[in-house]
């Protein structure tokens, strides 16, 4: 394993003092710093400046000034930039991965895929250029030959506000369609993860994207509020918690400003009586506890049939219990620390509530005791609770940490009880149905009230829309539907 000293010696970005405004790294005018801390050691290793109101005005103004030239290009020409950005991102893959791991503790085996996935998102959206460029003429239904030409104009200057759990791909899934649509952007990364996104900005600059089209400002959470409400912003795209999403939605509602919100989740994995539990165990961590449980769509509630409850619980506990927890820079690590001291406190509060409300711990259930340089890190034992009542907090609220709850449903008369349990939540983001008969499993998935449901696994498809229902958000990302979030439609009516 590469040591932290070796990692820091090779990284180009640790303590930085600039923002990316108008096509150049520009020294910050304020000496206020936001620290960057390694959650595996609890040691500060980097810092970034906090943007001022003047710098916000400069970034939004630069984006506004760049808009006519950028939007004036054909989408096919913008798509060529996207492909070049993808190539440049892949050239920066290792340093991006190491930076990301030091920022939020995501295991290196996960962050090493970030660059390739981001590049894939750019390349996929590049293939959609013809949808923007091709003539779209639609006849009037009256049949006199009159028709409407439908224009797909860019919505304008977009504020992209990202979370800390997947700080690269949850920016790129906004940035790529915004750029293809002809928009210019101002990016605000999470305060926990402000450095890894600089590799994306480097890739944008190296690809020759015109100055001002993409801007990056760093700062605390309250600075995101100023960006969202800035009068020069035309559209907001946000991924993060539901409470913050509500505040953003309220602000955008007052301003009549379009907004896309990808928010929290409390998704369920329904285990049908004929499920192959060995196959389930092979995808369990990726689908139900990815990134140490810090993933919005994962199915942290396992809804198991009473007839096989003990068997399901044993498989889940064994799968989680044998996965290695440790240094996220170690190749064999599956579970790292949670991303911050604040998140550690939040997750431990939920675990304490599970104990207090009578759930039974099958594995984990405590803060993890680590040795050496990890002894002060934010580690929590991956935890599986059984005998979880649907009314318990660990069953109803998003924890965003390494905690799985196993609920029981009565399968004596079918699976309706399982569907009702899965839908007994304010959220609606992800979900899985595990079953031997995949057609039957899909029929169950059709009844789950959620934006995305997998059959025997969960994955994100760049060409299919991803978004939440209810408290899980507004709008979608990915696919043509995600691209359309950055479009303002105009119909020009012509007489036949």
pLDDT digits (tens, 9 = 90+) for 113-164: 999 999 999 999 999 999 999 999 999 998 889 999 999 999 999 999 999 9
Average pLDDT over residues 466-488: 97
Q: pTM for the complete prediction?
A: 0.96
* Superfamily, domain 268-461: Aldehyde Dehydrogenase; Chain A, domain 2 (3.40.309.10)
- Provide mean pLDDT across the span 201-222: 96
pLDDT score at 221: 85
Mean pLDDT over each residue of the chain, to the nearest integer: 97
Average pLDDT over residues 217-245: 95
CATH code linked to domain 4-263+472-493: 3.40.605.10
Confidence class of residue 31 from pLDDT cuts 50, 70 and 90? confident
**pLDDT exceeds 80 at position 204:** yes
State the pLDDT at residue 43: 97
Residues 79, 85, 87, 89, Cα dihedral to 10°: -150
Provide the annotated active-site residues. Answer: 262, 296
What is the pLDDT at residue 2?
81
In the chain, % of residues over pLDDT 90: 97
User: Residue 142 has what pLDDT?
Assistant: 85
Q: How far is CA 485 from CA 156, 355, 365, 371, 488, in A?
A: 11, 43, 41, 47, 8
Over 90: is that where the pLDDT of 73 sits?
yes
Report the pLDDT value the prediction gives residue 287, as an integer from 0 to 100. Answer: 97
* Rounded distance between C-alpha atoms, residue 194 and residue 212, angstroms: 20
Residue 45 reports pLDDT greater than 90: yes
Q: What is the pLDDT of residues 76-93, one digit of tens each?
A: 999 999 999 999 999 999
Confidence check: pLDDT of 1 > 80: no
% of the chain beyond a pLDDT of 70: 100
**Per-residue pLDDT at 30:** 85
Where are the chain's structural domains? 4-263+472-493, 268-461
Q: Which residue has the tokens 């499993």?
A: 441
pLDDT tens-digit profile of 258-304?
Answer: 999 999 999 999 999 999 999 999 999 999 999 999 999 999 999 99
Mean pLDDT value of segment 205-228: 95
Rounded Cα gap, residues 94 and 111, in angstroms: 9
Q: Output the pLDDT for position 182.
A: 98
- Residue 373: its pLDDT value, please? 96
C-alpha 142/C-alpha 495 separation (Å) is: 12
């Amino acid at each position: 394993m590469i040591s932290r000293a070796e990692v820091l010696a090779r990284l180009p970005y640790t303590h930085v003092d600039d923002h990316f405004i108008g096509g150049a790294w520009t020294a910050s005018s304020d000496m206020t710093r936001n620290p960057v801390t390694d959650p595996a050691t609890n040691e500060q290793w980097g810092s970034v400046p906090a943007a001022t109101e003047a710098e916000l005005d400069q970034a939004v103004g630069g984006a506004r000034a760049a808009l006519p030239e950028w939007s004036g290009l054909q989408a096919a020409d913008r798509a060529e930039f996207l492909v070049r950005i993808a190539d440049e991102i892949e050239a920066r893959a290792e340093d991006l991965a190491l930076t990301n791991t030091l920022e939020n503790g995501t295991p290196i085996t996960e962050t090493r895929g970030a660059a390739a996935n981001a590049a894939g998102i750019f390349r996929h959206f590049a293939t959609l250029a013809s949808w923007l460029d091709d003539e779209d003429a639609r006849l009037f239904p009256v049949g006199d030959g009159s028709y409407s030409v439908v224009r797909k104009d860019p919505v304008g200057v977009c504020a992209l506000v990202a979370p800390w759990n997947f700080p690269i791909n949850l920016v790129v899934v906004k940035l790529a369609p915004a750029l293809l649509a002809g928009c210019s952007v101002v990016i605000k990364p999470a305060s926990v993860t402000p450095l890894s996104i600089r590799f994306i900005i480097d890739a944008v600059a190296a690809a020759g994207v015109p100055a001002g089209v993409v801007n990056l400002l760093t700062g605390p959470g309250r600075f995101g509020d100023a960006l969202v409400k800035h009068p020069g912003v035309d559209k907001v795209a946000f991924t993060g918690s539901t409470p913050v999403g509500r505040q953003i939605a309220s602000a955008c509602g007052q301003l009549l400003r379009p907004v896309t919100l990808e928010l929290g989740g409390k998704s369920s994995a329904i285990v049908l009586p004929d499920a192959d539990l060995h196959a389930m165990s092979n995808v369990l961590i990726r689908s139900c506890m990815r990134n140490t449980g810090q993933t919005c769509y994962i199915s942290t509630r396992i809804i198991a049939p009473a007839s096989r409850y003990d068997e399901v619980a044993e498989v889940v506990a064994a799968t989680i219990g044998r996965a290695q927890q440790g240094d996220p820079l170690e190749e064999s690590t599956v579970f790292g620390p949670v991303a911050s001291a604040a998140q550690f406190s939040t997750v431990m509060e939920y675990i304490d509530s599970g104990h207090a409300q009578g759930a039974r711990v099958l594995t984990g259930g405590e803060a993890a005791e680590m040795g050496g340089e990890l002894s002060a890190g934010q580690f929590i034992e991956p935890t599986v609770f059984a005998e979880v009542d649907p009314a318990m907090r660990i069953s109803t609220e998003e924890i965003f940490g390494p905690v799985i709850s196993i609920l029981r449903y009565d399968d004596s008369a079918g699976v309706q009880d399982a569907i009702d349990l899965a839908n007994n939540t304010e959220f609606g983001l992800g979900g899985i149905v595990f079953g031997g008969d995949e057609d039957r499993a899909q029929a169950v998935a059709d009844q789950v009230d959620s934006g995305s449901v997998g059959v025997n696994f969960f994955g994100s498809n760049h060409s299919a829309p991803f978004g939440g229902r209810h408290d899980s958000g507004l709008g979608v990302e990915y696919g043509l539907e995600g691209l359309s979030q950055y479009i303002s439609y105009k119909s020009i009516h012509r007489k036949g």
